[in-house]
Structure 1
Amino acid sequence: MHESAPQNPRQPETETETPGHAQDPGVSRRFLLKSAGAAGAGVGVGAGLGAGPARADAAAEPAAAAVPRRQGATMIGVPFERRGTVRVGIVGLGNRGASMTELFLAVPGVRVVALCDKVRAKAEKVAATVKAAGQPAPALYTKGEGDYAQLCGRGDVDFVYVATPWEWHFPMAEAALKAGKHVGVECPAAMELDQLWRLVDLSERTRRHCMQLENCCYGKNEMRVLRMAHAGVFGELLHGAGAYLHDLRELMFSPTYYEGPWRRQWHTRLRGDIYPTHGFAPVANYMDVNRGDRAVRISTVGSPAAGLAAYRAQHMPAGDPSWKETYVGSDLSVSLVQTAKGRVIRLEHGVSNPHPYSRVNTLGGTKGVFEDYPPRIYLEPEMSGDEWGDFGAYAKWDHWLWKEHANPPGGHGGMDYIMVFRLMQCMQQGLVPDFDVYDAATWSAPVPLSHASIRAKGAPQEIPDFTRGQWRAGRSGVDSVKP
């Protein structure tokens, strides 16, 4: 979606567009060596790009991966410190960071005290928005790519929000945690398996929350289905599906939409699902993943990579830097995730071909099924035959957040504001957050593991138990009780 396009209630939710940081030219080799080794999936380092093909006799069933020794007590069930005012520092002030700043400002009791982006003009523009909202001028950190560490070190910042290119999510979250700050990161939380483990360890050691700010968990449809699922309306849950299907070709080749080519260049590095959380997280919530069930393994297959090269040939002039790129990312990746209870979650990712926007968002059980885009439902015993029912007739199941905020501000149908409001509410009232670092790690794990599975001809990869065995206990999550 272009910045000038009108907001649509069912429009795509987030791409962490922009703060203009440089690429790490060594990310591909480093990523693959670490991820393949950490996956413990019997496919070895050969699963990496540039390595030879995976062994044909690779084990179909993944071996158990070693679980790192816990460095601190669990963060499950740990509440925030109660505070009347939440002071926020924002890192990354492109399309996403700038728009989210307005939503933080819209929540009573929240102050935006510091901003960071290496492009000073962007920081100054967002600072003007802060002052226009009646707040003091925020401190600006614009002295290069490492200045975010100075923001994290401020004594008057309670929460750091990160909306930068994906390769910067981990180092910025790490810096925030080490500085004693709670941190929320855009999707995905990190690109490497060992980085996800390190965030888990840091969160436990520093006693600070590290959260994947997955706004789709707060979509109106998603929250309604969540409450219905937990009330048993769908019966015993059996399967679900989520996706990120969004034609991003024009945006990825735009010279202005993203700050540089970072988003497109990930398609030169990884073959699998590089943006899984919008589809995975809501279905994981329906099934109480990390709250009574666990995602155990993932197997992924991918189509050829043709769409970006075809678009480049049609639209980009000779001599454009993109002609030096070789795209390997599957135009469509399809993953099957199995849980400890035997449920199946299908994940799809496709951004390189013509396709109307869809997150799929499906949930099925012994009493019926919900499918989104468009939303429709089929339930027994009230329905029979081959006709879908009207999902709008089930508005009584809407979450209390949507009943209290029927017309929330901001884009993406209001889910962004609902997420920010709820997070700030939890911090102000000293509540346990709706999701935690274990969810962040689980939802982001398909990034490296789907790539490894494709390289291993679809061989299943073990999804680590980031909770270290504590997933078996039921606990609250996004389906929260009104405080």
Structure 2
Amino acid sequence: MEKINVGVIGLGHRGMGTLQNILCERQDINITYVCDEYPDRTEQGRATVEKKMGKSPAATTVWQEVVSSKDVDVIINTTAWEGHIPISVAAMELGKPVCMEAGGAYSLEDCFLLVDAYEKTGAHCMMAENCCYNRDELMVLNLVREGLLGKVVHCEGGYLHDLREEICFGEENRHYRLRNYRHRNTENYPTHELGPIAKIMNINRGNRLTYLVSMASGSWGLNEYAKQNDKVNPELKTFPFKQGDIVKTLIKCRGGETIAITLDTTLPRCYSRGLTVRGTKGLYFEDGNGVYLDGMCSEWGKDYYNNKNEFFEKYEHRLWKSDITKKITFGHGGMDWLVYEAFFEYVKKGGNPPIDTYDTATWMAITPLAATSIEKGSIPVEIPDFTKGKWQNRTDICTGYFSLDV
């Protein structure tokens, strides 16, 4: 089969890591174009591809040149959040599939633009929501589908990651989070852990998200961090950051289930995604590293803490038992590698990707909707049905090796 010609747009920390350690390791693609708004990053990307793949790609600081190039078949979009939807839509309108990094949208209208572009051209925008392919999350998906936890009633998760250094040194490192935390107050990174939860709850495939309520705390964490670090821009010691330190978003599903998503990135903490799945027969609890089944221990007991590994032998997901994991060289324990394997399988074989445009739009929409809820006193806000009713009886699901639906 002919190799796929790939254009990579966005070469910051995440983009360069993806380029160097995942894309340049693939034997089935040519990286024909690289792009970043900063010339030094563009040159670093070009030199990396030349060194690792033996051929220099075209390089530019103008993303439109990449999207429109006849030498590019698909786009890898690892830009700052602001570039996710405009670049993806432009590529899709030319019939070019897109794999786009995680993040929330800036408006509901942008989410509809994604869906419109797909429905006009058939080119999907697959979000590279790597957590959907993490070993633990896939094992939990198996637990649910095997019925071990019973009927799923409620799920929780979030992005629980101390990013104070990344944000406060955003000017020096040219990182987009600083400007977002200055001027926005919302659930800005919902797809950790909404992506895996959506698969557990069959969202857009027999179930859907109907409305949300979001609430944000005040903002103190970044100011305190700046006061205690002399190297941080002194302005940040008193800057009135708009982004709340903790954001809680509650979501109601059409089937009656509930979801709680947390953003927790500006206070001291250890990393977690806090995945919790509650069912009528048991629960999975990431922070306890365990699975609890009805009757497993006494009412006050915690014998199930740290027993997760006992369940891997029987409920390990097929992807993590397969030879494909031997290829993994990089990427958050392997989940980055797997999500790109899934994308390129879709590009080669057609059909639907495991995370399709309807999923991408639905998950990204949480960000502007949460902003509206917070701004208006935590009022309930309706979540649109981007599938226009198709969620009730989806037939166009992914059936490939990397499917999250079968």
Relative to the length of structure 2, the TM-score reads 0.91
Q: More deviation in 201-210 or 402-411?
A: 402-411
Q: Deviations over 1:172-196 (max 9, x none)?
A: 1122122321112112252211100
Which of 248, 254, 258 is matched with 1:340 structurally?
Answer: 254
1:422 aligns with 2:342: yes
Query: 2:177 & 2:402 partners in 1: Cα distance?
Result: 38
**Which letter maps to 2:65?**
Q
Structure scoring higher RCO (CA < 8 A, sep ≥ 6) equals 1
Q: Is contact 1:210-1:437 (8 Å) kept?
A: yes
Question: Which position in structure 2 is the counterpart of 1:444?
Answer: 364
Query: 2:219 & 2:171 partners in 1: Cα distance?
Result: 24
Q: More deviation in 389-398 or 297-306?
A: 389-398
1:97-112 pair list within 5 angstroms: 97-102=15-20, 103-112=22-31
Cα 1:401–1:348 change in 2 (3 A) is same
Query: 3-state DSSP class of the match of 1:184?
Result: strand
Query: 2:52 & 2:232 partners in 1: Cα distance?
Result: 46
**Which letter maps to 1:384?**
C
How far the C-alpha of 1:228 sits from its partner, in A, is 1.9
**Which letter maps to 1:467?**
T
Q: Is contact 1:399-1:479 (8 Å) kept?
A: no
Which of 386, 390, 394 is matched with 2:311 structurally?
Answer: 394
Question: Which position in structure 1 is the counterpart of 2:84?
Answer: 169
Question: Which position in structure 2 is the counterpart of 1:86?
Answer: 4
How far the C-alpha of 1:86 sits from its partner, in A, is 1.8
Q: Is contact 2:104-2:366 (8 Å) kept?
A: no
Question: Which position in structure 2 is the counterpart of 1:291?
Answer: 205
Query: 3-state DSSP class of the match of 1:247?
Result: coil
Give the structure with the higher percent helix.
Answer: 2
Listed as ranges, the gaps of 5+ residues in structure 2 are: none
Question: Which position in structure 2 is the counterpart of 1:201?
Answer: 116
Q: Is contact 1:251-1:257 (8 Å) kept?
A: no
Q: Is contact 1:189-1:440 (8 Å) kept?
A: no
1:233-252 pair list within 5 angstroms: 233-252=148-167
Query: 1:138 & 1:272 partners in 2: Cα distance?
Result: 38
Query: 1:270 & 1:463 partners in 2: Cα distance?
Result: 20
Q: Is contact 2:104-2:190 (8 Å) kept?
A: no
Question: Which position in structure 1 is the counterpart of 2:144?
Answer: 229
1:46-195 pair list within 5 angstroms: 84-102=2-20, 103-142=22-61, 147-188=62-103, 190-195=105-110
Query: 2:79 & 2:27 partners in 1: Cα distance?
Result: 25
Query: 2:277 & 2:304 partners in 1: Cα distance?
Result: 14
Report the number of matched residues. 395
Query: 1:352 & 1:479 partners in 2: Cα distance?
Result: 40
Q: Deviations over 1:359-411 (max 9, x none)?
A: 10111111100011352101236x23222162112223222222223452113
Q: Deviations over 1:40-94 (max 9, x none)?
A: xxxxxxxxxxxxxxxxxxxxxxxxxxxxxxxxxxxxxxxxxxx642221000111
Relative to the length of structure 1, the TM-score reads 0.77
Cα 1:391–1:475 change in 2 (3 A) is farther
How far the C-alpha of 1:288 sits from its partner, in A, is 0.5
Q: Is contact 1:278-1:359 (8 Å) kept?
A: yes
Which of 245, 260, 266 is matched with 1:331 structurally?
Answer: 245
**Which letter maps to 1:473?**
N
**Which letter maps to 1:284?**
A
Question: Which position in structure 2 is the counterpart of 1:302?
Answer: 216
Q: Deviations over 1:155-177 (max 9, x none)?
A: 12121011111112122112212
Query: 2:75 & 2:205 partners in 1: Cα distance?
Result: 26
Q: More deviation in 399-408 or 266-275?
A: 399-408
Query: 2:161 & 2:154 partners in 1: Cα distance?
Result: 23
Question: Which position in structure 2 is the counterpart of 1:23?
Answer: none
Share of identical aligned residues, percent? 32
Question: Which position in structure 2 is the counterpart of 1:16?
Answer: none
Question: Which position in structure 2 is the counterpart of 1:38?
Answer: none
**Which letter maps to 2:269?**
H
Cα 1:354–1:282 change in 2 (3 A) is same
How far the C-alpha of 1:111 sits from its partner, in A, is 1.6
Cα 1:245–1:447 change in 2 (3 A) is same
How far the C-alpha of 1:325 sits from its partner, in A, is 4.1
Query: 3-state DSSP class of the match of 1:266?
Result: helix
Question: Which position in structure 2 is the counterpart of 1:253?
Answer: 168
Query: 1:428 & 1:189 partners in 2: Cα distance?
Result: 28
Which of 347, 353, 366 is matched with 2:267 structurally?
Answer: 353
Cα 1:321–1:304 change in 2 (3 A) is closer
